[in-house]
Structure 1
Amino acid sequence: MWSLKSNSFQFIFIWLLILLLNPDTTQAQENLKNQVGTWFIVAGDNALGDHWSIPIVGIWRQYNYAQETEFGFLRTGLNYRLSKQWYVGTGVAFLDTHPFEHPNNLQEKSQFWWYQEAGVKHTSTFTQRYRVENRWLNGPNGKSFRTRFRHRLQYKKPFTTTTYFKVSNESFFEFKELDFLQNRFFVGVGKAVHPNVCLEVGYLKNHVNGENYDRIRVAIYFKTRIAKKTVDLVNNTP
């Protein structure tokens, strides 16, 4: 069985944090698209009971090594757990994008989403997520509506009771043109700093419309329980 000692995990974790906090790694690059950027995530699952929960996700992406904001994102909704393996959910999201070519923000783009998703946990290490996103886009060329499909396959292997290794790949497809939009590949490590809080750091390769971007991704995941007793919003009977 594959195992990794705690001190080895700490070495990897500290090395990635040093890479993130060291500005010299990207100052020599002049092209903003080629610079290593940062990708910060705060995501929580707020349980309403044994079946219902409210997800909350915030994302803040930057280029020019955390000096220029590229992307801000907020998402929330309602999830329902069908079984120990399956869940379904729906919700809304808003994002604001500042294109690389216009760092003065004269041509900002915004989007509003209504999404539906389903997730399945095949084993203790493999999971999949499927999502359909209905997007209303607002940009310098006017407003438009698009629908896309996303699929994520994830592998998560514990090192110890509090540390783990994670690798995932997520692909995006456009419904209208039946076109491949982007791909996100992530590899990293995580540590439970509290029974309900995990800190994760790693490398993300984002392929978008023929362009490739390197990102250091740092995430905080947390869980809360809003209702102490089981809340059944479908069959709320005595």
Structure 2
Amino acid sequence: MEYVRYCLRLLCSIVFTVSLTQDLQAQNSSENDYGSWILLYGNTKIHEEWSVPVVGIVRHHHMLDKYGFFFFRTGATYKLSKASTITGGFALLNSNSYLGPDDVKNTNQLWLYAEYNLNTLYHTQKISHRFRVENRRLINVDDPKVNNRVRYRLQYLKPIYKDIYFKAFNELFLNIKGETFNQNRVFIGFGQQLTPKIKVDIGYFNRKFKKSNEDMIRLSLSFNIDLTKNDLALKTY
């Protein structure tokens, strides 16, 4: 129990430090200020082997302020085995680029993607591998630039006390054409299983690019719905 209290105090300290640093840097208009990453994602089971994933993300350059982008992704997932799945689908992204104090450029993107997920259990610890291929392009523009890239995410999850868990992951992005390195993402945080089908986690999130670095607080809420049992995740809670 003392370990859990220590972890929660540590997480609160991270949130406080990030918020304080953001206040001290409020006069800086750079996109590298501390920000927020709000994530809602879930999975709806429609067949014993098929499900529909849904992901929504809102990114702010400052904590819940200065809009960065909105991202929505969905598709279809097929269960290959008890531990592995494949998914294919599309995503839409709307983003703001801040070229100057009064110069904001808004763009839209369409993504097509395919991914493979593999989960491995070691006692109570869960290690997940995700491999993804993406085709991204600008839409509603005269020059629809296209970017193809691959991603690999290694995620670790370990229960630490009752329904509280520790979660961490690292994800590497590589371009298929041109300069190889695209970005790297790291997350370290804690979460809680609120119900058998709903959980929430929060922690420190970093995106590293070749010439820039973004530090954020990442908050996520996830859910599961099983339509094969006529049992909506939110219906009985």
Normalising by the smaller structure, the TM-score range is 0.7 to 0.9
Q: What amino acid sits opposite 1:160 in the alignment?
A: Y
The alignment yields a C-alpha RMSD, in angstroms, of 2.3
Q: Is the 8 A contact 2:29 2:101 kept in 1?
A: no
Separation in structure 2 between the aligned mates of residue 227 and residue 161 of structure 1, nearest angstrom: 29
Q: SS in structure 2 opposite 1:206?
A: strand
Aligned structure 1 segments of 4 or more residues deviating by more than 6 angstroms: none
The structure richer in strand per residue is 2
Change in Cα spacing, 1:179 to 1:103, as seen in structure 2 (3 Å) is farther
Residues 162-177 of structure 1 correspond to what in structure 2 (within 5 A)?
Answer: 162-177=163-178
Give the corresponding residue for 2:198. Answer: 197
Q: Is the 8 A contact 2:15 2:217 kept in 1?
A: no
Deviations 1:161-215 (A, max 9, x none): 3111011000111111151100001100000111111110000110123211101
Structure 2 length-normalised TM: 0.86
Deviation at 1:135, TM superposition (A): 1.2
Aligned length, in residue pairs: 225
The answer to whether 1:73 aligns with 2:71 is yes
Specify which of 80, 86, 90 is matched with residue 92 of structure 1. Answer: 90
Give the corresponding residue for 2:41. Answer: 43
Separation in structure 1 between the aligned mates of residue 199 and residue 59 of structure 2, nearest angstrom: 20
The answer to whether 1:34 aligns with 2:35 is no
Q: Is the 8 A contact 2:99 2:105 kept in 1?
A: no
Structure 1 length-normalised TM: 0.85
Give the corresponding residue for 2:21. Answer: 25
Separation in structure 2 between the aligned mates of residue 103 and residue 194 of structure 1, nearest angstrom: 45
Which structure 2 residue ranges, 5 or more long, are not aligned? 231-237
Separation in structure 2 between the aligned mates of residue 189 and residue 118 of structure 1, nearest angstrom: 25
Which structure 1 residue ranges, 5 or more long, are not aligned? 230-238
Q: What amino acid sits opposite 1:57 in the alignment?
A: V
Separation in structure 1 between the aligned mates of residue 40 and residue 103 of structure 2, nearest angstrom: 25
Deviation at 1:66, TM superposition (A): 2.0
Give the corresponding residue for 1:216. Answer: 217
Moved more, 212-221 or 160-169: 160-169
